[in-house]
Homo-oligomer: A and B are copies of this chain.
Amino acid sequence: MDEQHVLAVDLGGTNIRVAVIGESGAVENRTQLPTGAEDGPDAVIGRIGNLINQVAADAGVAADVPVGVASPGPLNPRSGVVHYTPNLPGWRDVPFVEKLSAIVHRDVALANDGNCGALGEVQFGRARNIKNLVYLALGTGIGGGIISEGVLIDGKNGLGAEVGHTVVALDGPRCTCGSIGCLEAFASGWAIQAEAEHIATTADGDMLREIAGDRPIHAGIVAEAARRGDLAAKALLDRAGRALGAAMGSFINMFDPEMIVIGGGVAALGDLIMGPAKLAMPSHSFIDMRAGMTIEYSALGAHTGLYGAAALAFVQFGKVEGSIISR
């Protein structure tokens, strides 16, 4: 092959995706299977291993090509152990890398999907050649990754960069992590949904109920109500955006980044949430740091997980020509 390739795995609660990805971003032999999380960790890891072996055989990938895995966390990327993950019931301190390596007989790198996302943005996405990046993945929860001077910031056990669990309001709403007033408790998919469900039980919830009909309420329904001018839905998204903007300000003051990249499903709300966020951000950050900094939406789309996993494998085992990331 003309360029280096790696095997990329995107492990999600619903699907396992595997592909061969080249250093320039070419995606080959992309395939997927249901995760079947109910069968427990050994069965899931077995499924991943078989899928890797099948893709590697189909694509004629050499025996020394490594594997990168983007997984929900918390996990320890140094020991390769997944501590637990809300989306995969029964996973508790699973020696993922050890078990998967035994099936695929290849080097395996593991990191959480947020950290992989940051690496993916630098190698394949909006943040190419960016050495100081804050990546925020606004999904059901809020994850992300930090790259500072070309180094992924993840701390002593590799558990850091929990960007969604930064306190923005001492007296704010309870978070699923047990804390109070986390960014995630304002601006994540679950937080927006929970607040909307509450509004729907009140007199202010007429339009939310009308749009939802028989469906459960979710962020997309809140967005639709806001677009139709519903004040309660607008206020909800304003509040979420304001919390996001304040957190972005704090991250700017902490990391003096060149770029913030916003990914994840909630980012699809666009200006409904990013509008108030961008209004709040300047009043929470130093002008010398936000000057020259840009905020971009991720463009990796459905391939985010695979690109992130591939970038991880390149960083950990390969050497991409001109890469600015070290580990």
Task: Give chain A's interface residues, CB within 8 Å of chain B.
Answer: 74, 83, 131-132, 146, 148-149, 151, 153-163, 165-172, 177-181, 242-243, 246-247, 249-250, 253-258, 283-286, 288-289, 292-293
Contacts and interface: CB of A to CB of B under 8 A. Distances in A.
Contacts of A255: 153, 155, 160
Contacts of A257: 155-156
A284 B285 CA distance: 23
14 contacts: A132-B156, A153-B153, A155-B257, A159-B288, A159-B289, A160-B255, A160-B256, A161-B254, A162-B253, A162-B254, A162-B289, A165-B250, A166-B254, A168-B170
A302 to B, nearest CB: 28
B148 A283 contact: no
A289 B159 CA distance: 7
Contact of A284 (B74, B180, B246): B180
A221 to B, nearest CB: 25
A165 B253 contact: yes
A256 B155 contact: yes
Nearest to A254: B160
A167 B170 CA distance: 10
Contacts of A289: 155, 157, 159-160, 162
B179 A249 contact: yes
A168 B165 contact: no
A88 to B, nearest CB: 17
A132 B155 CA distance: 6
Given A156-B293, A160-B289, 15 more contacts: A148-B148, A148-B160, A149-B151, A149-B155, A154-B256, A156-B258, A156-B292, A161-B254, A162-B289, A165-B250, A167-B168, A167-B284, A170-B242, A170-B246, A178-B283
- With most chain B CB atoms within 10 A of its CB, the pick from A158, A160, A170 is A170
A140 to B, nearest CB: 18
B163 A283 contact: no
A110 to B, nearest CB: 16
A153 B253 CA distance: 11
A148 B159 contact: no
A100 B172 CA distance: 48
Nearest to A159: B256
A128 B162 CA distance: 26
Given A148-B155, A159-B289, A286-B177, A250 B132 contact: no
Contacts of A253: 160, 162, 165-166
A142 to B, nearest CB: 12
Given A155-B255, A249-B179, A74 B165 contact: no
A323 to B, nearest CB: 17
Contacts of A254: 146, 153, 160-163, 166, 254
A285 B170 contact: no
Which 10 pairs of residues, A with B, have the shortest CB-CB distance? Answer: A155-B256, A160-B256, A162-B253, A166-B250, A167-B246, A165-B253, A132-B156, A159-B256, A169-B170, A179-B284
Contacts of A293: 156
